Structure 1
Amino acid sequence: MTSTVAWSDLAFFYFIAIIPLSLLWSMGLKDLSRDLAISIVRMSIQLLVIGFYLQTVFDLDNLALNILWLVAMALIAAITSAGRAEMPRLKSAIPLTSAILIAMLPVLLMFIVVLSRPVPWYSAQITIPIAGMLLGNALGSLVIALRRFNLRTPEDREHIELLTTMGATKLEARRTLVKASLRAAASPVIASMATLGLVSLPGMMTGQILGGFNPIEAVQYQIAIMLGISASQTLSIILALRFTIYMEAEYE
C-alpha cells in the first residue's frame, strides 16, 4: 500500500461527495445539501491547516510548544462542551479545562512511558495524536453529561430545592442529578465498547494495520487506548460535574 496520497487521488473522493449532495438537492433538501457542502469545505480547510501546523510542531518537537498545544486543545474542548451544554463559556472555561487536563494527562503519560517510549519522551508525533484521541472521545460524553446536568427538568429542580431546604450541601442536593448525567454520558460509550471489533474496527487499529502493523500488535495498542479513553472520559465527566457545582455555588 502506498504511504502517500496524491492530490489528484484525493480529488476523486470529492467527486464521490457530490453524490449525496446531489441526492439531497434533488429531494428538495437544499438547506441540508448546502449545510453538508459547507461542512465538507470547512472540514477540508481545517484539516489542511492543522496538518501543516502539526508538521511544523513535529519538526520543532519542543516541550513548551507541545504543552501549549495540549492546553489549547483542552481549552477548545472545554469551550465547545460548555457552548453545546448551554453553559456560560467564559465562566466554564477554566473549570472544564482543568477537569479535562487532570483526567487526560495521567493517561497520556502512561501511554508514553509504558507503551510508546518515544525519544524524546515528549515527542509531538506521539503526544499530540494520542491526546487528540483522548480529547475527541471525551468531548462527546462531556457534552451529554453537562447538557443533562445543566438543562434540568422541573423534577430535578424540585428535588434539589427540597434537599437544600433540608440542609443538604450543594453536592448532596445534586447527587441524583450527577448520577443521571453520568448514566446518560456513559451509556453510548459502554454500548460502543461492547460492540467494538464486531460492528466496526476502531480508527487507530485500522490505521496501524493499513500502515503495516501486525494485527495482534494493533489490537494491543487499541485495547490500551480504549481503556485509557474510558478512564479519562469517566474522570473528566466526574471532575467537570464537580467543578460545575462549585462554580454554581460561587455565582449564586
Structure 2
Amino acid sequence: MNDYIRLEYLDLGLSALLLLAVAGLSLLLQLRIERSLAIAGLRCVLQLFLVGLVLTKLFALASPWWTGLAALAMILFAGREIMARQERGFQRLWAYGIGTSAMLMAATLVTLFALTTQVQPDPWYDPRYALPLLGMILGNTMTGIALGLQRLTEGARQQRAGIEAQLCLGATRRAAMLPVTRQALTTALMPIINSLAATGLVSLPGMMTGQILAGVEPMEAVKYQLMIMFLIAGGTTLGAVTAVFVGVYRLTDSRDRLRLDRLAAE
C-alpha cells in the first residue's frame, strides 16, 4: 500500500492558524513572544522549503560528491549550534572544534554502518537514504554533545576546589575529573535514555508516523523506527564520550593542573 494523502497549500495555511492563535494568546497575556514566534515560524517555512528544493536536486543527481558535501554542510551547521548552546564554556574556536569533530566522527561512522550493513541502498551513498539517516542521528548527537560539554564546564567551575585538592594530593587529571566526567556523560545520555523508554508508549516518533501516513505497514514502520533509535543511541554515546573526554584534557594539562583559564571569559 503506497497511497498517501497529499497536502495542499491551503491545508498548510489552516494549520498555520494555530501559530496565529499562539501569537494572539501571547498578546493577550503580555508574554512578549509573538515577535520571536513569527520569526521562528517564518524561518521554519523558508528553511524547510529550501531543504525540499535542495533534496529534490540531490535525489536527481545521486552523486557521492554532492551527497558528501551536503552531509558536511549539515555537520558544520550542527557544530555551530553546539557552540552557540555553550554558556561560559570553552573558547569559541575550541567549542566549535571539539563539538564538530566529535559529531563528525560519531555521526559519520554510525550512518555508514547503517548504510552498508542494514539499509544497503544501491548505490550505498544514495542521498534519499543517506541524508535522512544522517539528519536524524546528527540532531540527537548534537544535543547530547552540547549537554555533555555544558555540564562538564559547569561542573569544573563548581567543583574547582575539590578537583584542585585532589590534584595537589597526587591524583592524575583523569582521576580528579572523574566525578565531573561521569556527571557530564549522564547528562548527555539522559535524553536518549528517556526517549528509548517513552517511544511507543508515550509517543509515536516522527519517522514511524511519517511512514504510516505514507502507507507503510505498521510493523514495517516499527522495525525501521527501532533501527533508528538504536543508531541514535549509539551515535549519541560515541559523540558525547569523545567530546567530554577531549574536553577533560582541554581543561587540564600535562602537568596535572586544572586550566579554567581555557574557558570563555565570564
**TM-score under structure 1 normalisation?**
0.91
Does residue 205 (structure 1) correspond to residue 208 (structure 2)? The answer is yes
Give 1:148 shift. 0.7
Q: Distance in 1 between matches of 2:139 and 2:92?
A: 19
2:44 corresponds to which residue? 43
Distance 1:89 1:56, change over 3 A: farther
Q: Are the counterparts in 1 of residues 82 and 142 from structure 2 also a CA contact under 8 Å?
A: yes
* Structure 1 residue 162: Cα displacement: 1.6
2:240 to 228, 237, 241: 237
**Equivalence map 1:41-120=2 (5 Å):** 41-86=42-87, 87-120=90-123
8 Å CA contact 1:82–1:88 kept in 2: the answer is no
Q: How many pairs align?
A: 251
> Sequence identity of aligned pairs in percent?
33
Maintained 8 Å contact 1:82/1:146: no
Does the Cα contact within 8 Å between 1:96 and 1:243 map onto a contact in 2?
no
Could you report, residue by residue, the CA deviation over 1:102-146 in whole angstroms, capped at 9, with x for unpaired residues?
Answer: 212222122212332211110011111100000111222222211
> Cα offset for 1:58?
1.8
Contact kept in structure 2, 1:85 and 1:150, CA below 8 Å: no
Q: Which amino acid in 2 is paired with 1:118?
A: P
Are positions 1:136 and 2:139 aligned together? yes
Q: Which runs of 5+ in 1 are unaligned?
A: none
Distance in 2 (CA, whole Å) between partners of 1:88 and 1:4 is 47
Q: Which residue matches 2:27? A: 25
Query: What residue number does 2:35 align with?
Result: 34
Describe the superposition over 1:130-180 as per-residue Cα deviations: whole angstroms up to 9, x where unpaired.
Answer: 000001112222222111111236541112212222333333321111100
Question: 1:60 deviation in Å?
Answer: 1.7
Deviation (angstroms), 1:193? 1.3
Structure 2 unpaired stretches of 5+: 254-258
Which one-letter code corresponds to 1:119 in the other structure? D
User: TM-score, normalised on structure 2?
Assistant: 0.87
Q: Is the 8 A contact 2:103 2:142 kept in 1?
A: no
Q: 1:186 aligns with which of 189, 198, 214?
A: 189
Task: Specify the alignment match of 2:13 in structure 1.
Answer: 11
**Distance (Å, rounded) in 1 between the aligned partners of 2:86 and 2:174:** 20
Displacement of 1:57: 1.9
Alignment of 1:222 onto 2:217: no
Secondary structure of 2:125 counterpart: coil
Q: Distance in 2 between matches of 1:72 and 1:247?
A: 26
For residues 203-241 of structure 1, the C-alpha deviation after alignment (integer angstroms, 9 at most, x for no partner) is 111111111111111111111110110011011000001
Distance 2:167 2:68 in 1: 41
Query: Comparing 81-90 with 151-160, which one deviates more in the overlay?
Result: 151-160
The 3-state SS of whatever aligns with 2:141 is helix
Q: CA deviation at 1:185?
A: 2.1
Code of the residue aligned with 1:197 in structure 2: it is: G
- Cα RMSD of the aligned pairs, angstroms, is 1.9
Give, as a single letter, the amino acid of the residue that structure 1 aligns with 2:122: V
Deviates more, 1:160-169 or 1:9-18: 160-169
- Give the whole-Å Cα distance in 1 for the aligned partners of 2:99 and 2:76: 8
Contact residue 104 and residue 134 of structure 1 kept, 8 A: yes
Deviations 1:62-96 (A, max 9, x none): 11222222222222222211221233232232332
Give the 3 Å change call, closer, same or farther, for CA 137–27 of structure 1 in structure 2. Answer: same
- State the secondary structure of the residue aligned to 1:152: helix
> Structure 1 pair 216/199, CA: closer, same or farther in 2 (3 Å)?
same
Shifted more, 124-133 versus 19-28: the winner is 19-28
C-alpha change, 1:137 and 1:4, in structure 2 (3 Å) is same
